[in-house]
Each structure stands twice: as C-alpha cells, then as structure tokens.
Amino acid sequence: MSWLRTHTCGELTIENKGKEVVLNGWVSKRRDLGGLIFIDLRDRYGITQIVFDETNSALHSMAEDLRSEYVIGVRGKVINRSDETVNPDMKTGELEVEVSELKVYSKAQTPPFEIKDDLKTNEETRLKYRYLDLRRAELQKNLILRSEVYHTIRNFYHDRKFTEVETPVLMKSTPEGARDYLVPSRVNAGKFFALPQSPQTYKQLLMVSGFDRYFQIVKCFRDEDLRADRQPEFTQVDVEMSFVDEEVIYTEHEALMANIWKDHLGVELKTPFPRMSYDDAMKTYGSDKPDLRFDVEIHDISDDVAESGFKIFNSTVDKGGRVLSITVPGEGSMGRGALDRLTDKVTSETGAAGMIFMKLNEGEITCSVGKFLDDETMKNMAETSGAKEGDLVLILAGPTPDVYKQMGGLRLIIGNQFDLIDRDQTKFLWVTDFPLVEWSKEDLRYHALHHPFTSPKEEDLDKLESDPKSVKARAYDLVLNGNEIGGGSIRIHTPELQQQMFSLLGIDEEEAEEKFGFLLDAFKYGAPPHGGIALGLDRIVMLMSGAGSLRDVIAFPKNQKAQSPMDSSPSEVSEEQLKELHISLRKTANN
C-alpha cells in the first residue's frame, strides 16, 4: 500500500472524520498519557495530533521509541479529540488521527537547539545548523513571504509587458564604487571575470536593443566590509524602461508597492508617495533617507547665535558651518546623568565633537553653555527650535555637510530612545534632485553620487564643467521608514554626454574606452532615452516581515566575516585547482 501522504499536517478538519489517511512529518512533541501516546506531527503546513493506543502492542512499542524530530509516516483514521483536548485555535484542533501503521523514515539526534520561535541561541550556532534554524516557524514564514513577494512582483511586471531577461553573472571587471568579486579564467590565462555589482550596463544595452521594458530579480555582489545589514550577495529587483520620464517610474513603482503591501500585509497604501528633494531631506532630517514615522525636524539656529558670546558658535558660522538644533518634546527635565549618557552616545555614533543642550522648565531656559549666552539669544534659539515649556533642545555645531549628517544620526537616536517612532506607520518617500557628483577628499576627484550613467538635469547641463557640484541629477531613491529600498535614474543616452561625464569623473578617454567602450559604441547606433530603478528585495522583505536582520530573510546567508559556518566556506582549494586557473597564493597571505 502506498505511503504517499493523502493530506498535509495542516489540512484535515473534522469533516474528514472516519477517513483513512496517510500523514508524513516530524515528531514535534510527544506526551504519554495513561497508556496513550500523543504526538504533534509537524510539517510546513501545520500540526496534526496523532495517537497510539495500547490495542496494538507492537505498534505502541514502536511509538515509544519516537523522539523529537524523527521523521515518520503514519496511516490511520480521523477521529474526534476528547472534549478536554479540543483546540479551537487550530484548524486541525478538533480531530486526531488514530494510528494503525507507522513507518520511521529517519531517526534524529537531539538537535543543538530547540526548534522554537523565541530562540536565545547565538547566531553562529544558528548559522552552523542553518537547516535546523530554518525549521523554525518564524524563518519559514519569512521565506514563504519572500516567495510570495517574488510572485507578486513578477506578475506585476509581466502584466505590464515587461520582458524578463537574465543578464550574465560572469562579466567584465570595471571597479567603480565598490570592490568586484573576481573569477579567474582557466581558458583565458591571466584574465578574470567579475561578478556583477548590478546588471546596469546590460540593462541599458537591452534598451539600445529595443526591449523597451526589462525586469529581472537578480543576484548582485559587492566585496565590501560587512555591516550588520549587508551581505556579499544580495537580491535586486532590476528594472529599465525606454521612452519614459521620472513620473512613469514613480507611478509604476508606487503601484508595485501598493500591490505588495495589499496582497501580503493587507495594507492599502496611499499613492502617490510624497516627494522631497535631497537638499530638503538633508536640511530638515539630516539624511537622504529620512524616517517620516516621526516628525521631529532639524532647525538652523545659526542666525540666532552667530553674534553670541560663545566662541564655538561664532567661529563655526564664520567658517561657513552651521549650528543646528532638534527639540525633544517633554524631556526638559532630563537629569544630568541621562544627558551625559546621551551625549556620549551621540558623539560616539555620529562623530559629533560635542553636544549642547537647552532645557525649558518652569518658564526658564537653561543651557549647558548658558554662561556664554544672554537670555535674548537663548529665547531666540528656543523659538527657532520650536521648543515649548517642558522641552529639551539638543544642539550640534560644525562644518557642512557633516553637521547635518550628525544631526540626522542624533534625530534617530532620540527617535528610538524616547519612542517617538510610530511603528505601525508605513512611510514611503521619493527623495529626488540628488547632486550629480560629490567631491572625494581621498581621491581628489569627483565621484558619481549614484553612478556614472546617471543623466544630469537638462537645465544644469551648462554648469557641468563650470560648477559640477551644483549640477542636479535625474536620480531618485525610494525610502521606506528611513531605509533606502530602491534607487534609480534617467540615464545618459548619447555618447557625447556619457564621455563628458566620464571626463568629469576623471576617467580619461583611454580608460573610458577600455572599460565602457562597448556602451559608448552602443550609444552610437541609436539609443532611446531610458531610465530605471533597482529595488533591494532582501531589505523590502525584511521590513515587511519585521525581521531584525537581513539574515532572517535569506535562506543561507553569510556571517559578518563573509563566511558560511555551515559548510565552512570559503575554504582552501587544491594546488591543482589553482594551477589550472594560472594563479597562486601570495606568500604574504595570512594563511
């Protein structure tokens, strides 16, 4: 007789009463009770209670050997649970399966940690036994959500006539921005492929080919030093469209997000999403990805203090810096100790040199540098900061743009510390009008703020050589609750402007030809105006699921040393393999 399951463990209801069924699954819990053995049999779909009675003693004694995580099959009849064991919260809660036959597929050792949700086990152990960690309902839920989100995304683009195209994983190394992962070629001695940091050039070439609308959910790779929210390989929803402007990209992707949120979180998003220029975001929130779930804003009190008696304020303003404040509502009575701890946190996390505070209590204003300031100045500072009786004002002074970024960091610290963030809100935002380039003090040249293929705004073209810093890009980021979840731009599509852009970035003609000659060539044969976007899928699913880490929405992630503790990769390889690839290890290598 077949041992193929007739039902999953999440499927039976009391409607099936009397039916003979076959179930397969894992032993989740076992209770022995007055000669009866009850087992919660678990699979991905749910849990069904099975019961062994004493009438068949051979079977009963087999059941006595069953331990947690054994994999078994059972044949049996669906019966009512006894009244006191009915669980109305479970789909299968009214029934149990009275087992007549048992098959043990696999025994199981005691796992190194229990398969349960509120796990305290350290992450390295969880990663080593990833296949057990993935049995936990929480991770299963995350990965199934991820699978469903893929489906919604792909249907969305398919319905809109986008063509899904796979671009190469083995491509040309053109390091610009992050480091490439390299792949030595065996057939072509001494040469290397790179893994894509993004399929940027390919998707633009597809537009030159006339594909018109392209999308792909694609792995990308950056060999960067890892932070908590980075992985060496990550997944991007990659999109490019021809003959469009920014508005089309915004509208389409607001609709995509609305679909995803509706289908999987039951949330109706309000569209269109608000927009904010990069300059406004930096000035008001000290960030190019402001978290709008709380409305604390940055105030510029430079004018109030430029002529004050406090040297640091004066000299900051004199040197072109700014004095900025933020008001924490209702925290005007914070004690000295708490303020010192807050100051330490702010200076260490944001890099600010120091923090000044001001309290509005019982009609009086006190300030940590009050002895240098007159009452009128302090009153003006408080007023500009929008501070009211009972509030705390925090002040940073320094050169721009650093002081804005420090203030942005401070804003998030107080948002979290004083629970100002409404975590039930979903705040999407387009950040627009980014600068085209920024000056790199290390490299002594301009870097593209997005990438070298981003089009400058047409009205700024005449400043490209005379005043590059003031040129705005046709670039945009999609921000969700303070996280950048996507970014894109309208691209350059003529060889002349692309060459001009390379020059501006200090890439001379020879280098441009060697690295990007194929793109410049492609533009010579009739390129349509085009633009696109790339969305960070891992991060989107992380934010949707409320997971604490990208690692909780990736099936087999790397740890923060870019290693997989499960299979001990990366690992040493044989001399023979290296020889075939025409490479050797450096003697200086620390191995």
In this complex, which beta carbon is closest to a second copy, that of residue 222 or of residue 411?
222
CB atoms within 10 A of CB 21: 18
In this complex, which beta carbon is closest to a second copy, that of residue 1 or of residue 589?
589
Residue 213 annotated as binding?
A: no
Hunting for tokens 């940590």 — which residue is that? Answer: 368
d(CA 574, CA 342): 53
Hunting for tokens 């390091």 — which residue is that? Answer: 175
Reading the block at residue 405, the tokens are: 């970024």
In this complex, which beta carbon is closest to a second copy, that of residue 506 or of residue 570?
570
509-523 and 495-504 helices cross at what angle (nearest 10)? Answer: 160
d(CA 572, CA 76): 51
Instruction: Report in angstroms how near the CB of residue 489 gets to a second copy at its nearest.
Output: 17
Hunting for tokens 């949700």 — which residue is that? Answer: 117
d(CA 395, CA 569): 47
Residue 536 annotated as binding?
A: yes
Residue 303 annotated as binding?
A: no
By CB atoms closer than 10 A (0-12, 13-18, 19+), residue 110 is exposed
In this complex, which beta carbon is closest to a second copy, that of residue 411 or of residue 558?
558
- Exposure b/e, 473-491, CB count within 10 A at least 16 = b: bbbbbbbbbbbebbbbbbb
Instruction: Report in angstroms how near the CB of residue 99 gets to a second copy at its nearest.
Output: 17
Residue 318 annotated as binding?
A: no
Residue 30 annotated as binding?
A: no
Residue 582 annotated as binding?
A: no
Given CA atoms 510, 512, 516, 519 in this order, what sign does their dihedral have? Answer: negative
Instruction: Report in angstroms how near the CB of residue 253 gets to a second copy at its nearest.
Output: 16
User: DSSP letter at 553?
Assistant: G
Residue 146 annotated as binding?
A: no
Residue 176 annotated as binding?
A: yes
In this complex, which beta carbon is closest to a second copy, that of residue 63 or of residue 431?
63
User: In sequence order, which ranges of 372-508 are alpha helices (DSSP H)?
Assistant: 375-384, 402-417, 495-504
Backbone angles phi, psi at 254, to 5 degrees: -65, -40
CB atoms within 10 A of CB 4: 8
Reading the block at residue 207, the tokens are: 């537009």
In this complex, which beta carbon is closest to a second copy, that of residue 62 or of residue 194?
194
In this complex, which beta carbon is closest to a second copy, that of residue 131 or of residue 439?
131
d(CA 142, CA 144): 6
d(CA 577, CA 450): 38
CA nearest neighbour of 304 among 244, 380, 240: 380
Residue 539 annotated as binding?
A: yes
In this complex, which beta carbon is closest to a second copy, that of residue 549 or of residue 569?
569
d(CA 492, CA 519): 11
In this complex, which beta carbon is closest to a second copy, that of residue 234 or of residue 434?
234
Residue 511 annotated as binding?
A: no
In this complex, which beta carbon is closest to a second copy, that of residue 451 or of residue 558?
558
Residue 484 annotated as binding?
A: yes
CB atoms within 10 A of CB 118: 7
First to last CA, the chain: 57
By CB atoms closer than 10 A (0-12, 13-18, 19+), residue 325 is buried
Residue 89 annotated as binding?
A: no
- Backbone angle region of 348, left / alpha / beta, with phi > 0 → left and psi within -120 to 50 → alpha: alpha
Reading the block at residue 338, the tokens are: 């708490």
What are the binding residues?
176, 222-224, 231, 450, 484, 491, 536-539
Q: Which residues are annotated as a binding site for ATP?
A: 222-224, 231, 484, 536-539
Q: Residues comprising the binding site for L-aspartate?
A: 176, 222, 450, 491
